[in-house]
Structure 1
Amino acid sequence: MANPKNSGSTKFADLKQRILFLLGALVVFRIGAHIPVPGVDAAALTELFSKANSGLFGMLNMFAGGSLERFSIFAIGIMPYISASIIIQLASEILPSLKELKKEGEAGKRTITKYTRYATVLLAAAQAFGTAVFLYNQPGMVVTPKVEFFVSTIVCLVTGTMFLMWLGEQITERGIGNGISLIICAGIAAGIPAGISKLLTLISQGSMSWFTALLIVVGALALTYAVVFVESAQRKVPVQYAKRQVGNKIMQGQSTFMPFKLNMAGVIPPIFASSIILFPTTILSWFGADDKLSWFGKIAGYLQHGQPLFIIFFACAIIFFCYFYTALVFSPREMAENLKKSGAFVPGIRPGQQTSAYLEKVVLNLTFFGAIYIAIVCLIPEFLTSAVNVPFYLGGTSLLIMVVVTMDFRTQIASYVMSSQYESLMKRSQGRLGGKR
């Protein structure tokens, strides 16, 4: 008979191994973020980013964890994979063939994952080509022949994106939490020291007063507290279990509740919305968006941070993806059927169709307020940055991602520990019963 203490220690050893694997994977990610793609003058690249780090490049660089300003092999980051996931998920709601694949269970899921990977390669190749075109058109930027630069850039950037996609899948499977979200969170966290350094530099140069800097820090802490508070908020729907007979005994009905988070979509909407905005701006960069007098330059200027068109587009995209992703992950009809099969019901609501309609109404109301909350959190820094005239971007999207991913990571560790303790207690009780027999 196995020793329960040994089984518990084995379970915690598995948790330790998962955490160590996660840390090792993030170290690999940060090492890769410093491996440069050959053929680019580092001094010219630094000068380019010092002039344009608050617009499109700032957003791209944020999601790439600073890899873009170093033009490393992870320069385009994981965004092509996220864009491909959006396209495949939208297509699975429209195309009948993909709809059928979703109903085929694990086999269909593997096929859809394969299509997502193919789409990632295509999008990564397109974005890598666009990046190569943009850099080649910058005077004094490229130091190698044109063909050699384009081939090496596209191969390195596409390979880097595919490696990050694989690394994220490995973290999800062998580590703790969602691998893609953790990679994005780690990239954002890596930029915090640089942001603090820039803030101190502005103060030392006299470009910003200590009072303004203090307001920025206090505002960031207050916004973080607000995000933690709202992310912890729940709508508890009461559930009553009817009396049922088990053998010769009659089990009394029990009262419990179903918790629904206010933000059911998590960090997916701002990530998807950012990806949607990055796609047209990347396309515009191919056609000379740096020329402010051309139509492409004007449109690219309207899509910069703080511009009215960017704010409207970003807010609408966040709200749309809040509803879209919630509809993907939550099915009121399926939940109502599960409640009915288990002999449970919502007090005052008939089982079946009425329960489904009631749960759908609850979710829609929560999604509305959750979408408004996410849009406000992501747009507050937009207005503050313009009002205070800070020359570097303070992202509400990055703050939301960091807080939500950290809270989710903490919850998953707590659940893992709790399940380990529960399994240990069950084995102890079984061992005692076996000893009595």
Structure 2
Amino acid sequence: MWSNLRDAWKIPEIRKKLLFTLATVFIFRIGSAIPVPYMNQEAIQQLFNNSQGTMLDFLDMMAGGNISQFSVFATSIYPYITASIVIQLLTYAIPSLEELAKDEDGRKKIQIYTRYLGIALAFVTAIGYTFGLFGSALEATTLMQKMIVVLSIVGGTAFLIWLSDQITMYGISNGSSIIIFLGIIGKLPGDIRKMIYGVKIGYISILSVVLFTIFALFVVVIVVAINEGERRIPVQYAKRVVGRKLYGGQATHIPIKVSMSGVMPIIFANAIMSIPGLLSIFNPEGGFARFFTNWFTTQTVKGTVIYTILNIVLIIAFAFFYSSMQFNTVEYSKNLQQQGGFIPGIRPGKPTSVYLQRILDRVVIVGAIVLAFLATIPTFVSIFTKIPIAFGGTSLIIVVGVVIEIVKSIEQQMLIRHYKGFLN
């Protein structure tokens, strides 16, 4: 593996991508340490220490710890993720957006719409944070100072949106996933310190730590397994004569990944589950905030059950939604027929698309259920072991999934240049 790493580093293009990605890590960590002006950091920390609810902890986990520090990246990139979900759903519902999505120029326009909506959502969230959830920590007195506070948060989100696009174009893997990955990793040292402190004072037992570690390793193994699993559908190409040459006749296969959508269903599900918490930030002591805390967080038994059920349903739904976007069975069947290919025992055309859709549904449901199961079990383990570490739930799956995506991205780029596979 180290030999292949050295080979990857020797390729100028890959080395530039790796250095660019590492530079974005450095930039992200700097931004996470820049506090929003006119906000009392001690009051914010006191608010977190005295809070008995889990809404703050949940939102802070989503932002990678940037809310507790109230840095310029307090809203992270989740407004953009939420905007992406909304625009993608509208693309299926509005014919004009569906037409735009069919060509390259149209897709660029949709990306622009998504950025504008993401910044608008960041603006609304920043207002809620400044004057609602953390209103007691606000030290700004003039209108200009209050505008600076809000615009600092919005500017941080806009910068992360731009940075994620730059990572996608010039770095390794998907930019949004990298940003979320960095946020989760950035909160990990603090969570580990809390766990060590809990062990020292006797709140957490050594047995609980061992049990949690075993479950974490189990999650890592299963995530790697489902990311590597695939169903191969055999394809045969008919022989045809063009001039004096004979083409076709070879046999190949269509790979359908068990986890075709990767960690995106979990990221999308987390974004949706955070919406009630974001709506309650305008009145954190109101009835809606208490209702959300009691019914949609893991603070109470009923909240844990409802949160778990909704999270499972959303993960499975987004797994099907994302897979349908990546693998259009109708278009694939048409392309296969035009190229003279067919699946043995299946007639070309509509029967092929129906067969592919049936196989796709069976494969996706298996991967989605496993993914939902893995996203649920660690949460209960964290509650049972009393380990206050956000890394134990869906965050662990996101981290493992993003690492696998990065490794595969490097491997693909090396294979393109006729190098030995990164994993071999």
| TM-score, reference length from structure 2 | 0.91
Residues 303/128 of structure 1: CA separation in 2 closer, same or farther (3 Å cut): same
**Corresponding residue number in structure 2 for 1:273:** 269
Aligned runs of 1:193-208 on 2, under 5 Å?
Answer: 193-208=189-204
Change beyond 3 A, Cα 1:351–1:51: farther
Computing the radius of gyration from Cα coordinates, the structure with the larger value is 1
Please give the alpha-carbon distance, in whole angstroms, between the structure 2 residues aligned to 1:161 and 1:295.
Answer: 26
Aligned partner of 1:106 among 85, 104, 107: 104
Question: For 1:206-239, what per-residue CA distance to the aligned partner results, in whole angstroms no more than 9, with x for missing partners?
Answer: 1111111111112111211111112111111111
Q: Is the 8 A contact 1:41 1:142 kept in 2?
A: yes
Decide which moves more: 166-175 or 313-322: 313-322
Return the alpha-carbon distance in structure 1 between the equivalents of residues 408 and 329 of structure 2. 24
**CA shift digits 1:242-283 (9 cap, x unpaired):** 223354343562222111111112111111111111112111
Say which of 147, 152, 160 aligns to 1:151: 147
Counterpart residue number, 1:427: none
Partner deviation per Cα, 1:358-412 (whole Å, 9 max, x = no partner): 1010111112112211111111122222323334434432111111111111111
**Contact 2:133–2:283, Cα closer than 8 Å, also in 1:** no
The separation in 2 between residues aligned to 1:53 and 1:192, in whole angstroms, is 21
Match of 1:398 in 2: 395
Give the corresponding residue for 2:251: 255
Q: Tell me, yes or no, if the aligned pair for 1:41 and 1:143 is still in contact at 8 Å.
A: yes
Cα distance in structure 1, aligned partners of 2:10 and 2:228: 28
Counterpart position of 1:375 = 372
Q: 1:343 to 1:52 in 2, by over 3 A?
A: farther
| Residue of structure 2 equivalent to 1:12 | 11
Matched, 1:73 2:75: no
Matched ranges for 1:67-146 at <5 A: 67-103=66-102, 105-138=103-136, 141-145=137-141
Name the amino acid aligned to 1:30.
Answer: R
Q: CA RMSD in A?
A: 2.2
Q: Contact between 2:63 and 2:183, CA under 8 Å: does it hold in 1? A: yes
Q: Which residue of 2 aligns with 1:432?
A: none
Partner secondary structure for residue 259 of structure 1: strand
- Partner residue, 1:186: 182
Contact 1:172 1:179 in 2 (8 A): yes
- Equivalent pair of 1:75/1:157 in contact (CA under 8 Å): yes
User: Aligned-pair distance for 1:149?
Assistant: 4.9
- TM-score normalized by structure 1? 0.88
Counterpart pick for 1:177 among 145, 170, 173: 173
What is the CA deviation profile of residues 267-316 of structure 1, one whole-angstrom value per residue up to 9, with x for unaligned ones? 1111111111111211122133x35xx35412332111362221222222
AA in 2 matched with 1:119? L
Matched residue, 2:34 = 35
Unaligned runs of 5+ in 2: 1-6, 420-424
Aligned 8 A contact 1:129 1:150 in 2: no
Preserved contact between residue 191 and residue 388 of structure 2 (Cα < 8 Å): no
> 1:124 is aligned with what amino acid?
A
Task: After superposing the two structures, state which structure 1 stretch, 252-261 or 204-213, moved more.
Answer: 252-261
The one-letter amino acid of 1:101's match is L
Structure 1 residue 354, shift from structure 2 partner: 0.9
2:382 corresponds in structure 1 to 385
Give the partner amino acid of 1:130: G
CA distance in 1, matches of 2:236, 2:227: 26
Of 267, 270, 291, the residue aligned with 1:298 is 291
| 2:405 paired residue among 408, 412, 432 | 408
Partner SS for 2:274: helix
Judge conservation of contact 2:140–2:146 (CA < 8 Å) in 1: no
Report the CA distance between 1:69 and its aligned residue.
Answer: 1.0
How many Å separate the matches in 1 of 2:414 and 2:289?
A: 54
Q: 1:148 to 1:135 in 2, by over 3 A?
A: farther
TM-superposed deviation, 1:190: 1.8
Matched, 1:165 2:161: yes
Write the distance in 2 (CA, Å) between the matches of 1:368 and 1:126. Answer: 36
Alignment CA distance shift 1:11-1:201 (3 Å): closer
Kept after mapping to 2: 8 A contact 1:136/1:142: yes
Task: Look up the match of 1:310.
Answer: 307
Deviating 4+ runs (over 6 angstroms): 8-11
* Separation in structure 1 between the aligned mates of residue 311 and residue 18 of structure 2, nearest angstrom: 35
Q: Does 1:341 align with 2:338?
A: yes
Q: 1:418 to 1:296 in 2, by over 3 A?
A: closer
SS in 2 for 1:176: coil
Size of the aligned set, in residue pairs, is: 410
Aligned counterparts, 1:221-240, within 5 A = 221-240=217-236
User: 1:273/1:311 Cα in 2 relative to 1: closer, same or farther (>3 Å)?
Assistant: same
Deviation at 1:54, TM superposition (A): 7.5
Indicate conservation of the 8 Å contact 1:238/1:255, yes or no.
yes
Query: Distance between the aligned counterparts of 2:53 and 2:326, measured in 1?
Result: 34
Which residue identity does 1:86 align to in structure 2?
I
Give, in angstroms, the shift of residue 10 of structure 1.
Answer: 11
> 2:8 and 2:370 mapped to 1: Cα distance?
42
Distance verdict in 2 for CA 1:233–1:78, change over 3 Å:
same
